[in-house]
Amino acid sequence: MSNEYGWHIRVYYEDTDAGGIVFYANYLKFFERARTEWLRACGVDQHELAAQYGVIFVVKNVAVDYHAPAQLDDELNVTVVVRRLGRASLEFRQEAWRMGCDGARTLIATGDVKVGCIDAKSLRPSPIPDHVTEKIKAKYGTA
């Protein structure tokens, strides 16, 4: 079972800076969207988590390294790998790859992201609901 999930995105004009390069902070948006789609692929609905279980996921820590520039119209594949599934947190390794027309891939950015599960009202740490943990393990396993 592969622990890697991939999500494709095209770089739009709004993603770039005055030099035509993807603005560095936009990789955080790309990573966030990929994690959201990853969670959806696991069968987890974030609205349901908040409404029925009273918990939400929040980013606790992120570190990003930039390796090469992405530019307007580039197609990126943003990957998500679970590094650690804890009682109330998840740690991810994420990568953004430029996909070439010839099938070549160029590593653009890497990120290590820690996400915590918190109570939506108190904003204090809360265990990840068991059914969510089971869905993650069933779909992608854990590192």
Strands of the sheet containing 105-119, edge to edge, are 4-10, 75-85, 89-99, 105-119, 55-66
The runs of H, that is alpha helices, within 49-143 are: 130-140
Q: Is residue 110 within 8 Å of 67, Cβ to Cβ?
A: yes
Indicate which residue of 17, 45, 65, 73 is catalytic.
Answer: 17
* Farthest-apart Cα atoms in the chain, separation: 51
Query: Which residue in 115, 135, 137 sits closest to 126, CA to CA?
Result: 115
Task: Please provide the distance, in angstroms rounded to a whole number, between the alpha carbons at the two ends of the chain.
Answer: 11
Q: How far apart are CA 105 and CA 70, in angstroms?
A: 12
Active-site residue, 45 included: no
117: its two tokens? 């599960």
Active-site residues, by number, are 17
